[in-house]
Structure 1
Amino acid sequence: MTTTRLNTTFNEIVKGRRSIRKYDTTVKISKEEMHEILETATLAPSSVNLQPWRFLVIESDDAKATLAPLARFNQTQVATSSAMIVLFGDLKTLDYSEEIYGHAVELGYMPEEVKESQIKAIAAHYANMTTEELKETVLIDGGLVAMQFMLTARAHGYDTCPIGGFEKDKIAEAFGMDKDRYIPVMMMSIGKADDKGYQSVRLPVERIATWK
């Protein structure tokens, strides 16, 4: 599989990223390349490696029509992007612990006895978590994978925009998902930029960091 990457260095990727709201509608990202972007993005860390992120890739006209009424003031991104990514956190991600840790054993990353002790300890930990603590955990993990997704997209020559303004209480059910299990983290548009985005400023490190 051949993919085109616009940027080659970390600084180019990070410093060249902009939040883009209008995209070239003639550019479509193939399923194969989107798979590669997602695969790289999910190398992000997560709490006890339970990887609670779930991605809904909305690219068809019908799916975008379903999304549009829920996207509030972000209609340009929906209409012009190659795809809209809705990122959810799975509150039942513990169900995947055997699959994740079992595969680690198969690959020789850990012995079976370590896997068993880890899963037992993780299950006990999650059993004592409140719903709010669990939501906080998956939202933090979701933020980590979201940023990695956007930087990976940039490395592939695409642009993105993180979006928090949408109907979070309706989006899961609109796409046939269990709203009590999957909580929305954010949406992200992705495509080839059709504008340059906006320059923005950041507070200096002296204002935001303290050394002790």
Structure 2
Amino acid sequence: MTVSIGADTHDQSFSAVIHGRRSVRAYDPNFKISREEMKALLGEAILAPSWGNLQPWRFLVIDDEKLKLKLLPIANNQQQVADASAVIAVLANLEYYKQAKTIYGRAFEAGFMPEDRAKLFVERITAKHPAIPSEMRTKIVSTDAGLVSMALMLAARARGLDTVPMGGYDVDNFKETFGISDRYLPIILIAIGKAVKQGHPTVRLSVDEVTSFNQMTNE
């Protein structure tokens, strides 16, 4: 059964969303998210910020039952891979700078910046970033992919959906099985669907334990 989440579950306060999010590992295997709903969800997630607004993220949505079962052993047999409505692989585009002309061209066309400024940004990015050390480019895209991953999970919770991020999987096997080129860096897998068992509550260090002002004072 393919289900579209109604608007009544998409009107929550941010506080309710962030306090209500749990890492869910038990999903209803009969619950299916429609492609329309999935695209709407991703449309909200991609509002996340990124370096220079270059949006290096890419998503591989795996919702075919046979392919989820193929992914299952690659993801260390975590059952949520098979039972969730879909698994979203968040990838980072290591050649993100090649998008500069498209993105800044559209920014100019939308009236968000003058044409000469847009061209200047494109020239600087395309001249500088191909020569940046790979470690720095990896850090840039990994940071941005982390931001979009969190945005995705919060957008899902606002729609009444549940998620769990998964970092434990065979990256090389995953790339080979799903035809992912070296241009893309796999960041994380996110299972998404409807919980049959809620994620358990967790504790957090206090704000005072993790925060300093102006100079680091905590150990």
- Scaled to the shorter chain, the TM-score interval is over 0.9
Q: CA deviation at 1:3?
A: 3.4
1:8-87 matches, cutoff 5 A: 8-74=12-78, 76-87=79-90
Deviations 1:43-75, CA, capped at 9 Å, x for gaps: 00001111010000000012112211210142x
Aligned match of 2:217: none
Partner residue, 1:158: 161
Q: 1:134 aligns with which of 131, 134, 137?
A: 137
Deviations 1:162-181 (A, max 9, x none): 11000112212211120x21
Counterpart-to-counterpart distance in 1, 2:80 and 2:180: 23
Aligned-pair CA distance for 1:104: 0.8
Distance 1:157 1:37 in 2: 11
Paired residue for 1:172, among 172, 175, 181? Answer: 175
**Number of aligned positions between the proteins:** 210
Moved more, 163-172 or 139-148: 163-172
The answer for unaligned runs of 5 or more in structure 2 is 215-219
Q: Matched residues in 2 for 1:164 and 1:197: separation?
A: 17
Could you list the runs of 4 or more consecutive aligned residues of structure 1 that deviate by over 4 angstroms after TM superposition? Answer: none
CA contact (8 A) 1:21 1:77 kept: yes
2:162·2:192 contact (CA, 8 Å) conserved in 1? yes
Letter aligned with residue 65 of structure 1: L
Residue 125 in structure 1 maps to residue 128 in structure 2: yes
Match of 1:96 among 75, 95, 99: 99
Q: 1:106 to 1:56 in 2, by over 3 A?
A: same
Q: How far is 1:2 from its partner?
A: 7.3
Q: Is the alpha carbon distance of 1:140 and 1:118 closer, same or farther for their aligned partners in structure 2, counting shifts above 3 Å?
A: same
1:107 to 110, 115, 133: 110
Secondary structure of the corresponding residue to residue 54 of structure 1: strand
List alignment gaps of at least 5 residues for structure 1. Answer: none
TM-score by length of 1: 0.95
SS of residue matched to 1:200: coil
For 2:201, give the aligned amino acid.
Q
Q: CA deviation at 1:202?
A: 0.4
Higher relative contact order (CA 8 A, sep 6+): 1
Report what 1:147 is aligned to: 150
Q: Which amino acid aligns with 1:137?
A: I
CA shift, 1:89, in A, is: 0.4
Q: Give 3-state SS (helix, strand or coil) of 1:160's partner.
A: strand
Cα RMSD (Å): 1.4
Give the letter for the 1:184 counterpart.
P
Partners of 1:48 and 1:37 in 2: how far apart? 23
TM-superposed CA distance for 1:105, in Å, is 1.1
Is the contact between residue 86 and residue 184 of structure 1 (CA under 8 Å) also seen in structure 2? yes
2:190 to 159, 172, 188: 188
Percent identity for Structure 1 against Structure 2: 41
